[in-house]
Amino acid sequence: MSIFIDSDTKLVVQGITGRDGSFHTRQMIEYGTQVVAGVTPGKGGQSFDGPDGVEVPIFNSMDRAVAETGANTSVIYVPPAFAGDAILEAADSGVHLVVAITEGVPVLDMARAHAFARDKGVRILGPNCPGLISPGKSKVGILPAQIVAEGPIGVVSRSGTLTYEAVFQLTSVGLGQTTCVGIGGDPLIGTNFIDCLAAFEADPDTTAIVMIGEIGGTDEQDAATYVNAELSKPVVGFIAGQTAPPGRRMGHAGAIISGSAGTAEEKMKAFEDNGIAVAKRPADIVGLIQDALG
């Protein structure tokens, strides 16, 4: 099992003909993801040449792509100026999951897109996220496939390469993953820690969870309370940004300590107070997971 995506995932790539879109479409097809359609307005009727002779039909719009291919998930690689509209189009098309990779989407565009997705009952992952991968089943986004392996660990993170670091270490010691989810580094994201924790709790194959947070906001604190109240499975946590100065954005739009709120200390304390084992260094994550699994 896995969460959010699996071998039934039928993916449409919005922005399939762009530089990033075409590169990652190839990567996803190579991994075995069922990429059933691409969307680029004005290029409907053409097709995308994937690896191994795979041809992906291109449509002008999401409604056609979904109607003609039965896609249930979309991934968005379109530039920030159009990403907000692309998310609205996806949420309106009938897919149930929209993975928004694009970095730099204006936050007010996202406020509207999230409201629209709530109205439509559609899950958004991201924006500004690496996507997700369910090893051996499906990969949607940009996560490097070679660092993952099938196994019992659920990984959820606000970061990209820091997640790879953790996943790589898990895989190195033989701890594979059910699903690795990057929820994104923006202030307004569609899927948060709690959504992923709930899904991992419900997934019978997941036995332990790694949660990687960073400075900014209170998502980790809320997640910690949730873990304490609702989760039966062990959770290991890590927070990046102990040395970050207040008021400065640390790369991610959402990674900023506002006044005294959202510090790493606060988050680590919330983890400890709620029974989450806290890794002091990324290298400690593996050991703590092994302890938790006994």
Partner 1 sequence: MDIHEYQAKERFLAAGIPVPPGEIATTPDEAESIASKYGGPVMVKAQVHTGGRGKAGGVKYAKDAAEAREHATKILGMDIKGLRVEKVLVTPAEDIDTEAYVGVLIDRSTQSATFMVSAAGGMDIEQVAETQPDAIRRLAVDPRYGLLPHQAYWLANFLYEDPGLVKQASKAIAQLYRSFVDSGASMTEINPLITTPDGKVKAIDAKMSIDDNELFRRPEVAAMRDSSSEPPSETKAREAGLSYVKLDGSVGCCVNGAGLAMATMDLVKYYGGEPANFLDIGGSSNPDKVVSALEIITSDPNVRAILFNIFGGITRCDDVANGIVEATQRIDMKVPIVIRLTGTNEEKALEILEDAGFSAYTSMDDVVEKAVQLANG
- Judged by CB under 8 A, the residue of 11, 37, 95, 142 near partner 1 is 142
Residues 6+ apart with CB under 8 A from 133: 5, 31, 139, 140, 141, 143, 145, 148, 177, 179, 180
What's the start-to-end Cα distance of the chain, in Å? Answer: 22
Is residue 194 near partner 1 by the rule CB under 8 A?
A: no
Q: Among 132-140, 173-181, 196-204, 210-218, which window interacts with partner 1 (CB under 8 A)?
A: 210-218
**DSSP track, 9-28:** -EEEEETTTSHHHHHHHHHH
Is residue 149 near partner 1 by the rule CB under 8 A?
A: no
- State the nearest-atom distance from the C-beta of 58 to partner 1, in Å: 12
Is residue 46 near partner 1 by the rule CB under 8 A?
A: no
Is residue 232 near partner 1 by the rule CB under 8 A?
A: no
- Judged by CB under 8 A, the residue of 194, 198, 261, 278 near partner 1 is 261
Nearest residue (CB) to partner 1, 4 versus 31: 31
**DSSP track, 252-265:** STT---BTTBS-HH
Residues 6+ apart with CB under 8 A from 287: none
- Judged by CB under 8 A, the residue of 158, 197, 231, 237 near partner 1 is 158
Among 210, 208, 223, 179, residue whose Cα is nearest residue 4? 179
Angle at 84 between CA 112 and CA 48, to 5 degrees: 150
Is residue 144 near partner 1 by the rule CB under 8 A?
A: yes
Is residue 42 near partner 1 by the rule CB under 8 A?
A: yes
Q: 136: helix, coil or strand? A: coil
Q: Among 3-11, 67-75, 110-118, 223-231, which window interacts with partner 1 (CB under 8 A)?
A: 110-118
Is residue 38 near partner 1 by the rule CB under 8 A?
A: no
Nearest residue (CB) to partner 1, 168 versus 205: 168
β-strand pairing of 97-100 with 123-125: parallel
The residue count for binding partner 1 (CB under 8 A) is 78
Q: Among 4-12, 28-36, 202-210, 213-221, which window interacts with partner 1 (CB under 8 A)?
A: 213-221
Residues 117-136 that bind partner 1 (CB under 8 A): 119
Q: Which conformational region is residue 239 in: left (phi greater than 0), alpha (psi within -120 to 50 degrees), or beta?
A: beta
Nearest residue (CB) to partner 1, 9 versus 192: 192
- State the nearest-atom distance from the C-beta of 292 to partner 1, in Å: 21
Residues 68-97 that bind partner 1 (CB under 8 A): 80-81, 85-86, 88-89, 92
Nearest residue (CB) to partner 1, 1 versus 111: 111
- Judged by CB under 8 A, the residue of 195, 201, 203, 214 near partner 1 is 214
- State the nearest-atom distance from the C-beta of 190 to partner 1, in Å: 9
What does each C-alpha distance from 183 to 22, 94, 101, 159 come to in angstroms? 22, 22, 10, 8
Residues annotated as part of the active site: 252
